[in-house]
């Protein structure tokens, strides 16, 4: 009944050329590696009452219409000592026709904490887990600035294959394993780590950012005192940004300084635009605007 009423309102507004209806998804005040678990900040908005669980926001499209979508990934954290900056999230924009009742899962990327990679922002069809759009998060800063969230499907700096987590590689390897640095998570698989003299290994600890499919938590490490924690949305611990494909990391074996990559982005067709690092520093967001309601 509520959907029918909203549908009627949209049609009436459109007939009078005053249509301007937004649905703005935010982090709901959550910070760090875990996403929100309540919808309190949506009270009094067009998203009041939607399901929020383990950071994932479940939304039933209220009206059959053409929507304009704008997504931003979160930025990676800066480094206070080196005075370097984390990469900014990618900005994704485009139009898409959605049917009333379609269930979407939205994950809004969160800013990396204390040096962690930024989380990617994901909009995914709940029925089959396929992405509608993804905006990559920025890499964390170290001796150099972190890379921005990327415009293409691939992340930067030792990225994973499409949909996969980023890798951590060590130049002139002299360590069997390296703890405290992780790749960004992708849509399908977690960020990887440097272990057993390989830069494409599953993490012994939890340094790699979790994939969207695994819940999207940011990377962290319990056994090493670390200034980092990746942002929700797959940000790596002191590492790459989360996204459609996770950003990777290149580590200097002598100094242990590193260069962290940004996460990749996904768009459904070539009419969409993606700008690497096109978002303001901070958390990500996802906004849907109704352009043209359909009977």
Cβ 246 vs Cβ 209: under 8 Å? yes
| pLDDT tens column, 94-118 | 999 999 999 999 999 999 877 899 9
Handedness of CA 145, 146, 148, 150 (dihedral sign): positive
The predicted structure's pLDDT at residue 172: 73
Q: Which residues pair with 204 in a beta bridge?
A: none
Q: How far is CA 35 from the centre of its chain?
A: 11
By CB atoms closer than 10 A (0-12, 13-18, 19+), residue 196 is exposed
| pLDDT tens column, 25-79 | 999 999 999 999 999 999 999 999 999 999 999 999 999 999 999 999 999 999 8
Q: Residue 276: is its pLDDT beyond 90? A: yes
CB atoms within 10 A of CB 228: 29
Structure tokens at 85: 């900056």
Cβ 75 vs Cβ 251: under 8 Å? no
User: CA-based Rg of the chain, rounded to a whole angstrom?
Assistant: 19
127, HSE (Cβ side, Cα atoms, 13 Å):
5
């Amino acid at each position: 009944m509520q959907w029918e009423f909203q549908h009627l309102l949209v049609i009436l507004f459109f007939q009078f050329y005053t249509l301007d209806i937004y649905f703005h998804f935010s982090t709901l005040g959550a910070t760090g590696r875990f996403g929100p678990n309540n919808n309190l900040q949506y009270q009094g908005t067009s998203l009041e009452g939607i399901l929020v669980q383990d950071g994932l926001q479940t939304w039933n499209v209220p009206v059959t219409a053409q929507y304009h979508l704008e997504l931003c990934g979160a930025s990676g954290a800066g480094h206070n000592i080196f005075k370097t900056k984390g990469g900014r999230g990618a900005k994704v924009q485009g139009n898409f026709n959605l049917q009333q009742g379609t269930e979407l899962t939205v994950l809004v990327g969160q800013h990396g904490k204390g040096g962690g990679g930024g989380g990617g922002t994901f909009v995914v069809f709940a029925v089959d887990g396929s992405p509608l759009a993804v905006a990559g998060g920025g890499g964390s800063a170290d001796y150099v600035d972190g890379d921005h969230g990327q415009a293409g499907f691939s992340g930067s700096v030792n990225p994973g294959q499409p949909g996969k987590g980023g890798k951590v590689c060590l130049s002139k390897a002299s360590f069997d394993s390296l703890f405290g640095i992780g790749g960004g998570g992708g849509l399908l698989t977690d960020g990887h780590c440097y272990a057993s003299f390989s830069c494409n290994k599953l993490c012994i600890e939890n340094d790699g950012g979790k994939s969207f499919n695994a819940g999207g938590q940011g990377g962290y490490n319990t056994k090493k005192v670390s200034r980092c924690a990746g942002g929700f949305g797959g940000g790596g611990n002191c590492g790459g940004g989360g996204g459609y494909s996770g950003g990777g990391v290149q580590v200097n074996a002598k100094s242990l300084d590193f260069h962290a990559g940004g996460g990749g982005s996904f768009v459904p067709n070539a009419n969409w635009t993606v700008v690497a690092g096109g978002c303001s520093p901070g958390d990500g967001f996802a906004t849907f605007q109704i352009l043209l309601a359909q009977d």
